Amino acid sequence: MLSQARQIKIVPDLPSLQRAGADEFVRCARESINSHGRFCVALSGGNTPRGMNVLLASEPDIPWHKVHIFFGDERHVPPADPQSNFGMTRDTLLSAITIPAGNIHRVRAELDAETAAKTYEDELRQFFPQTTNGWPRFDLILLGMGPEGHTASLFPGSPAIREKTRWVVANCVEKLKTERITFTFPVLNHAAEVLFIVTGEDKAEVVKQILEGPSSPPEPFPAQQVRPVDGKLLWMVDETSGRLLKAPRS
Ligand code: 6PG
């Protein structure tokens, strides 16, 4: 199957963005469980997913025992830290649903960053013994985007941008003077579906360049390098991050 065309959905505001994201999550979960009995999803961090997670927590029809939750990236902090993506997800979703503990695959970010990355990759390799061309195939990877075009913890100019063989790496983020643990581009690009959910006035210019600018610029933004090799790519934006787009509104 060749890579499918990128789809763009522009919605009026943050509540409709969260609703649209939750609906796509439910659709993908249903389709994956119907087709192969489980739904393997990597969640995003930051603030944007909060509202969508809360909506998912009250979705009545998700068989959470058939859902495996992973994290596309994690800050180098313990789960109790306010910066923790796992902690945000626990507070907005995991604490409100009944899901087997073994279905939640947390990055051990309390360890040193390199050990956390290696440990997570080992866990992924055990979970995905059957790979697609040597890469895990997530049913869905949720991503956000920062104002300078980073996604997951793949920041412009950071070492992880060039990683072509490892699944998970510790990445030094100069701008934040910190290390992060992140999926690499090949893992993102071997997903069956990648869903970007982006809000924020400060992202409008980069969203415009990525979605309506040159398709192969000399220095693409990290978010622009996410193109599933044989999967679906869906960008959902609201009228803050998508206000410069000419594309028709939903
Ligand atoms: C993280 C995320 C990161 C996030 C963007 C957008 O760990 O912060 O994985 O890639 O998606 O920075 O963050 P907001 O949703 O807070 O704007």
Q: Give per-residue pLDDT as tens, 106-119.
A: 999 999 999 999 99
Q: Give per-residue pLDDT as tens, 2-60.
A: 556 799 999 999 999 999 999 999 999 999 999 999 999 999 999 999 999 999 999 99
Question: By alpha-carbon position, which residue is closest to atom 13 of ligand 1?
Answer: 46
H or E element that contains 80: none
Give the ligand 1 atom nearest the CA of 44: 9
**Residue 159 binned pLDDT confidence (cut-offs 50, 70, 90):** very high
C-beta of 44 in contact with ligand 1 (< 6 A): yes
Where helices occur in 109-164 by DSSP H, the ranges are 113-127
C-beta of 47 in contact with ligand 1 (< 6 A): yes
**If you measure from the C-alpha of residue 46 to the centroid of ligand 1, how many angstroms do you get, rounded to a whole number?**
4
pLDDT at 139 over 60: yes
C-beta of 149 in contact with ligand 1 (< 6 A): no
Q: What pLDDT does 132 receive?
A: 81
Question: By alpha-carbon position, which residue is closest to atom 7 of ligand 1?
Answer: 45
Q: What pLDDT does 1 receive?
A: 44
Distance CA 196, CA 21 (A): 9
What count of other Cβ atoms lies within 10 Å of the Cβ of residue 228? Answer: 19
Give the ligand 1 atom nearest the CA of 152: 10
Provide the residue type at 229 as one letter: V
Q: What pLDDT does 199 receive?
A: 98
* Tokens, residue 133: 């061309």
Q: Give per-residue pLDDT as tens, 57-107.
A: 999 999 999 999 999 999 999 999 999 999 999 999 999 999 999 999 999
Least Cα distance to 42 among 150, 181, 172 occurs for 181
Please state whether the predicted TM-score (pTM) of the whole model is above 0.85: yes
Q: Which residue in the block uniquely carries the two structure tokens 């993908």?
A: 28
Q: What pLDDT does 3 receive?
A: 58
Q: Give per-residue pLDDT as tens, 172-210.
A: 999 999 999 999 999 999 999 999 999 999 999 999 999
Q: What pLDDT does 18 receive?
A: 98
**If you measure from the C-alpha of residue 218 to the centroid of ligand 1, how many angstroms do you get, rounded to a whole number?**
24
Give the ligand 1 atom nearest the CA of 85: 7
Distance CA 152, CA 71 (A): 9
C-beta of 228 in contact with ligand 1 (< 6 A): no
C-beta of 89 in contact with ligand 1 (< 6 A): no
